[in-house]
């Protein structure tokens, strides 16, 4: 049951994020001049930026498509992911943005640290919805993501990406990640939106 009658999962997740100190709202990339400009600048290296990825800046999640064009559960997952980023932005301020943008010449980028924290939500929800099989499949998918161009090779090589994500999956299997903030609140919100 949703928090309020008639509230979809995405709306419920937005409400719960705000309730737990990470207020977020939705925006759309095509409606903002600055996101269109960033999209043009990134096109040579990230051609999917405008039409396949969500981006959070401050308290606004910029979606690639209008809300009605995306399934509510997909938007809810995006909100859950960005909820972690929003908490990190609030906790670390300019350091978050600066470190996220830095590309290091070897090893993991700082971006890998922040994205591992946010994608822990996707791994946690995979475990919640499908146990070991779904968790393993999601981890394998994320390894490709972390090692690939979507995030500018933030964990160069599949082996490094796997080493980056494996501890998160172990925490989920042990049930410890689900007990920490913000993951406990996110999971409770996710369960409460059914």
User: Can you give 35-91 as a three-state secondary structure string?
Assistant: HHHHHHHHCCCCCCHHHHCCEEECCEEEECCCHHHCCHHHHHHHHHHHHHHHHHHHH
Sequence spans of domains, the chain: 9-192
Residue predicted with more confidence, 41 or 106: 41
Percent of the chain with pLDDT over 90: 69
Number of other CB atoms surrounding residue 49 within 10 Å? 19
Coil/strand/helix, residue 121: helix
Distances in Å between the Cα of 129 and the Cα atoms of 45, 135, 177, 191 are 34, 9, 16, 10
pLDDT higher than threshold 70 for residue 1:
no
Distance CA 144, CA 191 (A): 28
Using pLDDT thresholds of 50, 70 and 90, give the confidence band for residue 69: confident
Residue found by looking up tokens 């599949």 in the block: 158
Distances in Å between the Cα of 26 and the Cα atoms of 29, 76, 93, 120 are 10, 11, 20, 22
CB contact set of 56 (below 8 Å; sequence gap of 6+):
24, 62, 82, 85, 86, 89
For CA atoms 183, 88, 92, 159, the dihedral sign is: positive
Distance CA 180, CA 31 (A): 36
Helix axes 72-92, 183-192, angle to 10 degrees: 160
Question: What mean pLDDT is reported for the chain?
Answer: 90
Distance CA 39, CA 55 (A): 11
* Mean pLDDT, residues 122-150: 95
What is the per-residue pLDDT for 3? Answer: 47
């Amino acid at each position: 049951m949703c928090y309020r009658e008639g509230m979809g999962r995405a709306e419920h997740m937005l409400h719960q994020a705000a309730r737990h100190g990470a207020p977020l709202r939705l925006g759309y990339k095509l409606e903002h001049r600055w996101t269109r400009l960033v999209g043009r600048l990134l096109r040579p290296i990230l051609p999917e930026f405008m039409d396949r990825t969500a981006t959070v800046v401050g308290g606004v999640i910029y979606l690639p498509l209008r809300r009605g064009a995306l399934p509510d559960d997909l938007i809810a997952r995006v909100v859950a992911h960005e909820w972690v980023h929003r908490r990190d932005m609030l906790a670390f301020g300019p350091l978050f943005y600066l470190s996220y943008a830095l590309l290091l010449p070897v090893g993991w980028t700082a971006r890998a640290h922040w994205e591992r924290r946010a994608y822990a939500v996707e791994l946690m929800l995979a475990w919640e919805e499908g146990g070991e099989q779904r968790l393993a499949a999601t981890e394998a998918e994320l390894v490709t993501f972390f090692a690939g161009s979507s995030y500018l090779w933030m964990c160069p090589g599949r082996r490094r990406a796997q080493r980056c994500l494996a501890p998160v999956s172990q925490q989920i299997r042990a049930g410890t990640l689900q007990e920490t903030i913000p993951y406990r609140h996110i999971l409770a919100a996710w369960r409460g939106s059914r």
